[in-house]
Amino acid sequence: MLRILGHSLAILLLTALTQIGGLAYLLALLLRGLLFRHSQRRGLALLAIFVLLYGGATVALDAGVLTRRASLPCWEHDGAPLVSASPLTCLLNRHYVTPGTYNAIATLAGYVNTRFPGTLTQTLDAGFPFLDGFPLLPHLSHDDGRKVDLAFYYKGPDGAYRRGALPSPLGYWGFTLPAPGEPQPCTGTEDPLSLRWNMGWFQPLVRDDLTLDEARSKAALQWLTTKGPEHDVERILLEPHLKSRLGIASNRVRFQGCRAARHDDHIHIEISR
């Protein structure tokens, strides 16, 4: 009974984290039962089969064999201006988008690189490879391949842009705090249902030698609000203090509310197709 419970939990957890991992694990269990029924190393056999199945499916997905969604670049190559901020995003299959969304993000990255040569635009969580409506936890809306989180651009203590550098090793939770006098609509609110976590326990892992590159970040937001609609960009989520600081007036840039996750560590973009 405990084994069945353990395998069931593993299937549920892998499905929630990667979408396809639960199915790969279930198939690995079946194959182990067929091929290694009397083996003394059944645990090792299960792990090896799972890795082969999951790895093979991931390669096929990235090649566009199994899904109509496009995979955002996982590795930087040939000086391309767009890449995932973390290999973990790709390992967990959280980097898939619709073709229209891919085109919008790639065009944005090319624009910022043209304005500021040598700039690298980095993607964070996007979506799973299959099924509209399948939740990408802990996000509330990344369930159809039309939402992408982008990392901000950062500079070092000397004021120079740091290509590919992010305050957080995960891309998230390296917050750019509001300055005195900037809008802070959630100050003093304590909602037990809120996902607006400050992640205090994580902050010792965040670099303190990087600050927001306002010029590049503003250029990206300006493109999203002016040229973005031509590529079906319909909404951008951003903290009010950054919208004010960067001088963004467009109504397409909105505050996500005090119950959702903070958006002063990334830009959330929604595409209509």
pLDDT tens digits for 192-226? 777 888 899 999 999 999 999 999 999 999 999 99
**What is the 3-class SS of 99-121, one letter each residue?**
HHHHHHHHHHHHHHHHHCCCCCE
Which pLDDT belongs to residue 118? Answer: 96
Average pLDDT over the chain, rounded to an integer = 93
Query: What are the boundaries of each domain within the chain?
Result: 2-62, 71-271
Residue 254, helix vs strand vs coil: strand
User: Going by C-beta distance under 8 Å and a sequence separation of 6 or more, which residues neighbour residue 261?
Assistant: 138, 139, 195, 196, 197
Give Cα separations from 141 to 50, 106, 132, 135, 169 (angstroms): 29, 21, 11, 7, 23
Q: Across residues 234-252, what is the average pLDDT?
A: 96
Fold for domain 71-271? Muramoyl-pentapeptide Carboxypeptidase; domain 2 (3.30.1380)
Check pLDDT > 90 for residue 64: no
Instruction: Tell me 180's DSSP state.
Output: T
Question: pTM here?
Answer: 0.92
- Confidence label for 134 from pLDDT (cuts 50, 70 and 90): very high
Residue 90, helix vs strand vs coil: helix
pLDDT tens digits for 8-45? 999 999 999 999 999 999 999 999 888 877 777 778 98
**Burial (0-12, 13-18, 19+ Cβ within 10 Å), 179:** exposed
Q: Across residues 170-193, what is the average pLDDT?
A: 87
